[in-house]
Structure 1
Amino acid sequence: MDESVDRTVTWLRHWIEAHGGVAGTVHARQGDTMILAAAVNIPPPVVKVVGTVPKGKGMAGLAFERDAAVSTCNLRTDTTGDVRPGAKAVDAAAAVAIPVHDAAGEIRGVVGIAYAGERAMDDSELALLTRAAEALPVA
């Protein structure tokens, strides 16, 4: 495994555990597309679907487009249109996708975390997750 990929996966595992999640992803920005850089506890069919995410599609693409966290209380029952059908196969309920920035303030990637149970995330929890996500070592 590439050293930077290994470091990103290790960081993601620790970040998920520190925030009580059960699964997560890191997407790295390449132009107007997000490319999957790391995944933890994401089923292979979902990994294939989210391997390349265009701006504005799915939770990661919407977080990229909006430059804001995108969350759902339940991946499987979400009716907002923010959650793509493939994400509904993840064995989790609540989820959030968070844009992370470089030193110039440009989006360099999106970090996602999923939780076992349903939950609504208030602004303070989203702010905490966002601050922690900004520590992403590579993307």
Structure 2
Amino acid sequence: MNVDFANQESVGTWLAGVLESFACQTGTLHKADGEWLDLVAQVGVPEFLLPKIARIPFGKGIAGVAAERREPVELCNLQQDLGGVARPDARETKVSGSLAVPVLSPDGATVLGTLGVGMQEPHDFTEDEKARLSGIATEIGKTWAGS
């Protein structure tokens, strides 16, 4: 993975490529700071929502729950989430199907961040899609652990 995670433009281009490979329209990459997730890059998130996703506590929203549980979290239809995982403001994205996975340290002991993708149509992510996104997150974890 040849991504300079310190370069915003490079990360944005890389994230856009990830979204294309999943046929998604929105994506976020957050880096953990203690029990908080700080936004590193995003594609397709409406400007007015950026302050609300810039810093997310573990356990809140899809990304925060993925970090807290240390496993993929998906919503087939974010617009109709009745389970309370999605924050009310998340509906403002107009995204339906969404998936967030944790970025873990190579030994799996530490949550380093989260990677999330979303599409406008309701979608049940397959086990293969979850595994693919988790694999990308694993590569990010190796890069972040080595920096």
Does TM, scored on the shorter chain, surpass 0.5?
yes
2:51 to 24, 27, 48: 48
Report the CA distance between 1:8 and its aligned residue.
1.8
> In 1, are the aligned partners of 2:66 and 2:72 still within 8 Å (CA)?
yes
Match of 1:117, as an amino acid? E
Looking at secondary structure, tell me which structure has more helix per residue. Answer: 2
Q: Does 1:122 align with 2:122?
A: no
Please, which moves more after superposition, 120-129 or 17-26? 120-129
Corresponding residue for residue 114 of structure 2: 110
Please, which moves more after superposition, 32-41 or 103-112? 103-112
Structure 2 unaligned residues grouped into runs of 5+ = none
Please, which moves more after superposition, 128-137 or 107-116? 128-137
> In 1, are the aligned partners of 2:104 and 2:137 still within 8 Å (CA)?
no
Structure 1 residues 3 and 62: CA distance shift in structure 2, 3 A: closer
1:89-135 deviations in Å (ceiling 9; x for gaps)? 11321001110122232221101100121111232321122112323
TM-score by length of 2: 0.86
> In 1, are the aligned partners of 2:66 and 2:100 still within 8 Å (CA)?
yes
1:38-57 deviations in Å (ceiling 9; x for gaps)? 11010112211111100111
* Partner Cα distance (1:47, 1:96) in 2: 18
* Partner Cα distance (1:23, 1:87) in 2: 12
Please, which moves more after superposition, 18-27 or 125-134? 125-134
Structure 1 unaligned residues grouped into runs of 5+ = none
Corresponding residue for residue 76 of structure 2: 73
Correspondence 1:81-120 to 2 at 5 A? 81-105=84-108, 106-120=110-124
TM-score by length of 1: 0.90
> In 1, are the aligned partners of 2:24 and 2:120 still within 8 Å (CA)?
yes
Please, which moves more after superposition, 4-13 or 70-79? 4-13
Correspondence 1:32-43 to 2 at 5 A? 32-43=35-46
Runs of 4+ with >4 A deviation:
none
* Partner Cα distance (1:115, 1:69) in 2: 16
Structure 1 residues 107 and 3: CA distance shift in structure 2, 3 A: closer
Structure 1 residues 138 and 46: CA distance shift in structure 2, 3 A: farther
Structure 1 residues 43 and 69: CA distance shift in structure 2, 3 A: same
> In 2, are the aligned partners of 1:8 and 1:138 still within 8 Å (CA)?
no
